[in-house]
């Protein structure tokens, strides 16, 4: 079947061409506009999402009886909304366009499987813009001159020239259509002349197809294909010794019918241990198998399902830990993060050792958990400062995948689905309702024994040991002096007969009891089962599985399942050999016996129907990425595959601040950062959102939060922000200070890492005078609680101080004068655009007078601010502006030397005339 995209300008006659094709050929036509309208109806893919995203918008109309409570979308209102609001349009397109594309691809695949049409035509206005050239076999451009198109639009639709001009202007020009499309159909007189260009192209396409259809019908009657065989699937089991091709279908009752099978041995050692070493030679064998099946079926196979061998998988065991700043209750999210850290570390380890190749993570299993260094079964709910885990992660090498794809493509096929051989075996060997259990599947082959562990419906771990059936056969070869093939037959006969008859290399016939063969092979069998059991327990987190299934010829030897059950410590009946009974729901062609060796080839076919284990393509942060989908693929898996550091995915807490208060250690945790921003197909998603094929995913990394911050005034020891004294009979409230690294600091001081803080609930008399901005007359007696004191006397809460004030604000008089003088000049940086002039605001010099202090000589309206980190007190005014601070400090605003002057109050830009209040943080910087 061919997949053709149809496009063209408005009025070119696309509808006429498509109607002609539908009437005269075996084709299916899908019109994307009609599909989009269908998908936004109640009960369809886009409706519920639009209902949520546009719930409050005026786009809703009446209801239909078949969907009560679900109003229809009014297309007129919708068009008005999205064409007037670009953000709404993008949101709507982000919902509908991916859904349309997914449904188109689904219908194409269904049509391909049914084989009822020769060509599938897709008509879409944005065929080129939406990238359908990458999935269609060809693009056809339906052409007609602008004059012809204009006349058609006037005649058939009654459009005016103005409207036609607007429509033509919004579409791609003719040369872009021609450059993007493979075929140009001149439809100038298509209807009148019977569409000659269309007929010519269909004849080009279908010359071979018509012949194939005729042959298929003849062969189909011989093969007796039922009417419902609309999901015919072709699988290839590309093994080390041979290639097995299987074609069949599954009916509604999950019964699988094999239509045809073919097998060919490799002519040389083109494959070793399940990995392709000579792509060309393997492709030749695939082509032989496919050609033989084509002859049997009567039609040509184009697509195939394949599987990678379990023995090529690589495992990495690693240990990771997560530390908490303080004792924390461990949540499920913490454990999930720990798992992801383990996968990330394993990915780094294997990338470091694996050379230039990438590796796909196909499963992982936690072996052990540790809480504060002690072994624990389950971490969730416990308090911990540190949690750890030992995790085993399984990877599929990229070169194995690429080799399989290349060999298949060289043979003229395309890969429709790819899985792993252990998963394919499970599809046949383990009933679906058992897969939720913790089960092991052991495929005992010739050279290796492949192991996989299931839990919660999916495979969580894989393993392999290099011992299998050939080890047993070699023992028989040496003991009975026979060739390898004879030894193989002895091994098989010993499992079904009481006695075994054979001829050695000298031609002498022997008959031995089967028990003698068992006794001979038992030591090797026990070595294999011991290794298998040890690997199962390791993969399953140091514990046995609930049950084990054994497939493959090597597992048939006497005592294999019994010894394995004993080694695992589970009941004998919970270790079972799966043989013909697993294929009771499978029908083979006449003359083909049910053989357990067919488990994997048929499993590959069955896996196609489940579509849970395949490689999918997505766009991740602007790049195309191929991912192995194990049925639980999430955005987090794509992020890990891309190499994003886990630190970019989860919010990072800022640095902690550690300090001491009166010798006691304290710690303030950093602020939690912003989580990573995750979008899928234009919609907000999360790291745990399930991925869909062809999705467009973007992740903006998480951010680090601010460092731990605390001010002195936030300390418990600073509960009272002020200390009060009685000065000359009047209560005076002063800010409480503490010593930080030996220096006095106000309550607004931001504590830094390593600070040593000592609380101060006292002042000296001199410090009180300084902060009150008064001069004490030391010639007169200073009394503290009626006792004679001096400027160094310590005073505490509610102490009484009596002194004589000789003056107040002398410094301020000088500073105000300096400020006035400084204000006489204008200094402007050389960057007028980014700086402000440093000239001071007009403010009269108003030094403190008798009116600026109260009757006791205490300054009125006392406030405290910080300037460039230093504490400054202001008093004597009813209100204050920024410039008042410059009158109190030694700071030259004219020293910018051409740099920009940046003035800020509490972190925000301000001016010299901006009002300030008690506690404000002020700065002037030169940049």
pLDDT of residue 851: 43
- Helices 75-84, 86-114: inter-axial angle, 10-degree rounding: 120
pLDDT surpasses 80 at 898:
no
* Contacts of 627-632 spanning 24+ positions with Cβ under 8 A: 627/360, 627/691, 628/360, 628/361, 628/362, 628/396, 629/691, 630/362, 630/363, 630/458, 630/459, 631/457, 631/458, 632/458, 632/690
Do the Cβ atoms of 609 and 231 come closer than 8 Å?
yes
DSSP label at residue 701 = P
Q: Under 8 Å CB-to-CB from 467, ≥6 apart: which residues?
A: 448, 449, 524, 527, 528, 531
pLDDT tens, position by position, 552-603: 777 888 889 999 999 999 999 899 887 677 777 888 887 777 766 678 888 8
Looking at the predicted structure, is the pLDDT value of residue 37 above 80?
A: yes
Return the pLDDT at 191: 64
Is residue 113 pLDDT above 80, yes or no?
no
Give the residue-averaged pLDDT of 502-512: 92
- Which of 142, 174, 209 corresponds to the end of one domain? 209
- The tokens describing 336, both together, are 């999930």
Mean pLDDT for all residues in the chain: 80
Cβ–Cβ < 8 Å for 451, 442 = yes
pLDDT in tens, 711-735: 887 887 776 667 889 999 888 888 7
Q: Are residues 571 and 527 in the same domain?
A: yes
Is the pLDDT higher at 527 or at 10?
Answer: 527
Share of the chain above pLDDT 70, in %: 86
Any domain includes 31:
yes
* CB distance 95 to 35 below 8 Å: no
| Predicted pLDDT at 900 | 72
pLDDT of res. 711: 87
What pLDDT does residue 209 have?
A: 43
Which residues share a beta bridge with 6?
Answer: 123, 140
| 2 φ/ψ sector (left φ>0, alpha ψ -120 to 50, else beta) | beta
Q: Of residues 503 and 806, which shows the higher confidence score? A: 503
Contact 649, 634 (CB under 8 A): no
pLDDT at residue number 300: 79
pLDDT category of residue 192 using cuts at 50, 70 and 90: low
- Look at residue 396 in the predicted model and tell me its pLDDT: 81
Residue 747 and residue 842 share a domain = no
Domain containing residue 535: CATH number:
3.30.420.40
The pLDDT confidence band at residue 346, using thresholds 50, 70 and 90, is confident
Average pLDDT over every residue of 538-551:
88
**Dist CA 463 CA 448 (whole Å):** 10
Q: With the C-alpha atoms ordered 526, 528, 530, 532, is the resulting torsion angle positive or negative?
A: negative
Q: Region 526-547: what's the mean pLDDT?
A: 91
In which residue are the tokens 């004679």 written? 788
- How many degrees, rounded to 5, is the angle at CA 405 between CA 400 and CA 411? 130
Residue 912 lies in a domain: yes
The whole-number pLDDT of residue 386 equals 93
In this prediction, residue 813 carries a pLDDT of 36
For residue 117, is pLDDT > 60?
yes
Residues 694 and 744 in one domain: no
H/E stretch holding 161 reads helix 161-169
Q: Is the dihedral of CA 361, 366, 371, 373 positive or negative?
A: negative
Question: How is residue 154 written in tokens?
Answer: 């006037």
State the pLDDT at residue 321: 92
Tell me the DSSP string of 830-883: S-TTT----PPPP-------GGGB-TTSPBSS-EEEEETTEEEEE-SSSSEEHH
Average pLDDT over residues 463-492: 88
Q: Which of 412-421, 458-467, 790-799 has the highest mean pLDDT?
A: 790-799
**Backbone φ and ψ of 750, nearest 5°:** -85, 120
Q: Please indicate, yes or no, whether residues 182 and 34 belong to a single structural domain of this protein.
A: yes
Q: Is residue 304 part of a domain?
A: no
Is residue 214's pLDDT more than 70?
Answer: no
Which is more confident, 385 or 424? 385
Q: In this predicted structure, which of 222-231, 495-504, 794-803 has the lowest mean pLDDT?
A: 222-231
Per-residue pLDDT at 500: 93
pLDDT of residue 200 exceeding 60: yes
Shared domain for 98 and 188, answered yes or no, is: yes
225, 247 in Cβ contact below 8 A? Answer: no
pLDDT at 847 over 50: no
Residues 122 and 176 in one domain: yes
**How many Cα atoms sit within 13 Å of 771 on the Cβ side?**
23
278 domain-assigned: no
Residue appearing with tokens 């054979």 = 502
Average pLDDT over residues 283-310: 87
Same domain, 870 and 899: yes
Burial bucket for residue 225 (CB in 10 Å: 0-12, 13-18, 19+): middle
Name the most confidently modeled range: 532-536, 594-598, 829-833, 899-903: 532-536
For residues 201 and 66, membership in a common domain is answered with yes
Mean pLDDT within 671-688? 84
Say if residue 34 is in the same domain as residue 155.
yes
- CA dist., res. 675 & res. 854, Å (int): 56
Q: Is 188 contained in some domain? A: yes
Q: Can you give the CATH number for the domain in which 14 is found?
A: 3.40.50.300
Q: Is the pLDDT reported for residue 810 higher than 60?
A: no
439-444/880-881 β-pairing: unpaired
Summarised one tens digit per residue, pLDDT across range 900-924 is 778 899 988 887 768 898 889 999 8
Confidence of residue 651 (pLDDT cuts 50, 70, 90): confident
Place of tokens 């209040």: 917
Choose the final residue of a domain: 209, 241, 264: 209
Query: How many domains are there within the chain?
Result: 5
Please tell me which residue, 895 or 390, carries the higher pLDDT value.
390
Highest mean pLDDT among 196-205, 220-229, 278-287: 278-287
Q: Is residue 562 part of a domain?
A: yes
Residues 6+ apart with CB under 8 A from 239: 271, 274, 309
| Span 698-709, average pLDDT | 85
Tell me the range of 64-68, 228-232, 632-636 where mean pLDDT is highest: 632-636
The pLDDT score that the predictor gives to residue 652 is 78
Retrieve residue 430's tokens: 């383990």
At 292, is the pLDDT very low, low, confident or very high (cuts 50, 70, 90)?
very high
- Does residue 808 carry a pLDDT above 60? no
Q: Which range among 458-472, 521-535, 838-852 shows the weakest confidence by mean pLDDT?
A: 838-852
Asked whether residue 600 is domain-assigned, the answer is no
Residues 142 and 112 in one domain: yes
How far does Cα 540 stand from its chain's mean position? 26
Band the pLDDT of 213: cuts 50, 70, 90.
very low
User: For 657, left (φ over 0), alpha (ψ -120 to 50), or beta?
Assistant: beta
In a domain? residue 253:
no
Domain that holds residue 620: 615-658+678-700
Say if strands 800-802 and 722-727 run parallel, antiparallel, or are unpaired. parallel
Residue-level length of the chain: 927
User: Which of 193, 209, 225 represents a domain boundary (last residue)?
Assistant: 209
Domain co-membership, 719 together with 694: no
Dihedral over alpha carbons 98, 102, 105, 109 (to 10 degrees): 170
Q: Which letter does DSSP use for residue 395 in this model?
A: E
Q: Which residue has the tokens 């020009």?
A: 173
Q: What is the Cα–Cα distance from 173 to 49, expressed in whole angstroms? A: 35
Contact 801, 727 (CB under 8 A): yes
pLDDT over threshold 60, residue 835:
no
pLDDT at 783: 93
Q: 818 and 772, same structural domain?
A: no
540: alpha, beta or left, given left = phi > 0 and alpha = psi -120 to 50?
alpha
Mean pLDDT score, 783-787: 92
- Burial 872-888, CB ≥16 within 10 A → b, else e: bbbbbbeebbbbbbbbb
Instruction: Using DSSP bridges, classify how beta strands 303-308 and 414-420 pair: parallel, antiparallel or unpaired.
Output: parallel
Residue 635: give its domain's CATH number.
Answer: 3.10.20.30
Please check the confidence at residue 104 and state whether its pLDDT lies above 50. Answer: yes
Report the alpha-carbon distance of residue 500 to residue 517 in Å, rounded. Answer: 9
Better pLDDT: 684 or 286: 286
- In this prediction, residue 285 carries a pLDDT of 93
């Amino acid at each position: 079947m061919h997949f053709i995209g149809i496009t063209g300008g408005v009025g070119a006659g696309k509808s006429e061409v498509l109607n002609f094709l539908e009437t005269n050929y075996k084709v299916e036509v899908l019109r994307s506009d009609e599909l989009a309208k269908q998908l936004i109806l109640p009960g369809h893919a886009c409706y519920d999402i639009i209902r949520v995203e546009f719930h409050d918008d005026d786009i809703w109309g009446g209801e239909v009886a078949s969907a009560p409570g679900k109003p229809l979308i009014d297309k007129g209102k919708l068009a008005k909304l999205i064409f007037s609001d670009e953000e709404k349009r993008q949101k709507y397109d982000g919902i509908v366009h991916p859904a349309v594309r997914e449904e188109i691809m689904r219908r194409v695949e269904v049509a391909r499987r049914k084989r009822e049409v020769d060509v599938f035509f897709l008509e879409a206005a944005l065929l080129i813009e939406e990238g359908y050239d990458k999935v269609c076999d060809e693009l056809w451009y339906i052409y007609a001159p602008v004059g012809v198109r204009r006349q058609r639009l006037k005649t058939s639709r009654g459009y005016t020239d103005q409207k036609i001009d607007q429509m033509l202007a919004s579409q791609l020009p003719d040369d872009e259509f021609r450059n993007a499309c493979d075929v140009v159909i001149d439809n100038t007189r298509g209807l009148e002349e019977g569409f000659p260009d269309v007929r010519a192209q269909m004849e080009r396409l279908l010359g071979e197809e018509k012949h194939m259809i005729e042959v298929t019908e003849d062969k189909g009657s011989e093969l007796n294909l039922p009417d419902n065989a609309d999901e015919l699937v072709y699988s290839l089991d590309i093994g080390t010794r041979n290639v097995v091709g299987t074609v069949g279908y599954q009916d509604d009752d999950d019964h699988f019918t094999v239509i045809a099978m073919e097998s060919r041995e490799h002519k040389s050692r083109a494959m070793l241990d399940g990995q392709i070493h000579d792509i060309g030679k393997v492709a030749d064998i695939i082509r032989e198998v496919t050609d033989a099946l084509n002859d049997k079926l009567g039609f040509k196979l184009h697509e195939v399902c394949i599987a990678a061998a379990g023995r090529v998988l690589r495992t990495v065991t690693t240990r990771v830990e997560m530390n908490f700043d303080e004792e924390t209750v461990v949540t499920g999210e913490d454990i999930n993060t720990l798992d992801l850290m383990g996968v990330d570390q394993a990915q780094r380890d294997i990338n470091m050792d694996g050379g230039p190749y990438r590796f796909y993570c196909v499963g992982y299993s936690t072996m052990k958990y540790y809480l504060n260094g002690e072994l624990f079964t389950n971490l969730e709910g416990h308090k911990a400062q540190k949690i750890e885990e030992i995790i085993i992660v399984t990877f599929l090498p990229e070169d194995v995948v690429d080799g399989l794809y290349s060999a298949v493509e060289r043979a003229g096929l395309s890969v429709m689905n790819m899985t792993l051989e252990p998963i394919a075996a499970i599809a046949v060997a383990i009933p679906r309702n058992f897969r939720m259990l913790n089960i092991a599947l052991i495929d005992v082959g010739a050279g290796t024994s492949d192991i996989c562990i299931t839990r919660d419906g999916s495979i969580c771990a894989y393993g392999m040991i290099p011992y299998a059936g050939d080890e047993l056969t070699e023992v028989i070869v040496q003991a009975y002096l026979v060739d390898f093939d004879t030894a193989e037959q002895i091994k098989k006969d010993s499992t079904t007969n009481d006695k075994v008859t054979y001829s050695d290399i000298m031609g002498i016939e022997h008959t031995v009891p089967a028990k003698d063969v068992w006794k001979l092979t038992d030591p090797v069998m026990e070595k294999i089962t011991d290794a298998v059991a040890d690997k199962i327990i390791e993969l399953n987190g140091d514990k046995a599985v609930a049950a084990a299934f054994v497939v493959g010829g090597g597992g048939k030897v006497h005592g294999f399942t019994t010894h394995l059950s004993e080694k695992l410590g589970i009941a004998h009946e919970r270790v079972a050999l799966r043989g013909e009974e697993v294929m009771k729901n499978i029908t083979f062609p006449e003359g083909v016996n049910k053989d357990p060796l067919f488990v994997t080839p048929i499993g590959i076919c069955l896996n196609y129907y489940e579509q849970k284990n395949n490689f999918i393509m997505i766009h991740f942060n602007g790049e195309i990425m191929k991912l192995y989908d194990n049925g639980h693929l999430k955005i987090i898996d794509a992020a890990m595959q891309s190499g994003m550091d886990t630190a970019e995915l989860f919010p990072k807490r800022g640095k902690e601040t550690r300090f001491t208060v009166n010798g006691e250690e304290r710690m303030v945790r950093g602020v939690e950062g912003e989580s990573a921003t995750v979008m899928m197909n234009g919609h907000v998603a999360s790291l745990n959102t399930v991925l869909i094929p062809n999705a467009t995913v973007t992740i903006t990394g998480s951010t680090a939060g601010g460092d731990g911050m605390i001010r002195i005034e936030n300390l418990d020891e600073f509960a009272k922000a002020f200390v009060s004294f009685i000065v000359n009979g009047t209560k005076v409230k002063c800010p409480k200070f503490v010593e930080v690294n030996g220096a006095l600091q106000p309550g607004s001081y931001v504590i830094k890492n390593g600070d040593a803080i000592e609380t101060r609930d006292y002042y000296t008399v001199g410090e009180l005078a300084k902060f009150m901005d008064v001069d004490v007359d030391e010639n007169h007696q200073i009394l503290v609680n009626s006792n004679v004191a001096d400027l160094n006397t310590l005073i505490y809460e509610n102490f009484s101080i009596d002194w004589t004030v000789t003056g107040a604000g002398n410094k301020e008089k000088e500073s105000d004068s300096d400020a006035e003088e400084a204000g006489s000049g204008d200094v402007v940086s050389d960057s007028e655009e980014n700086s402000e002039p440093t000239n001071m605001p007009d403010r009269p010099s108003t030094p403190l007078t008798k009116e600026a202090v109260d009757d006791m000589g205490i300054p009125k309206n006392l406030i405290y601010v910080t300037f460039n980190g230093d504490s400054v007190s202001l008093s004597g005014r009813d209100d204050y502006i920024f410039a008042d601070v410059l009158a109190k400090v030694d700071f030259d605003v004219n020293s910018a030397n051409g740099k920009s002057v940046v003035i800020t109050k509490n972190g925000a830009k301000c001016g010299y005339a901006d009002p300030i209040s008690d506690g404000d943080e002020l700065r002037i910087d030169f940049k």
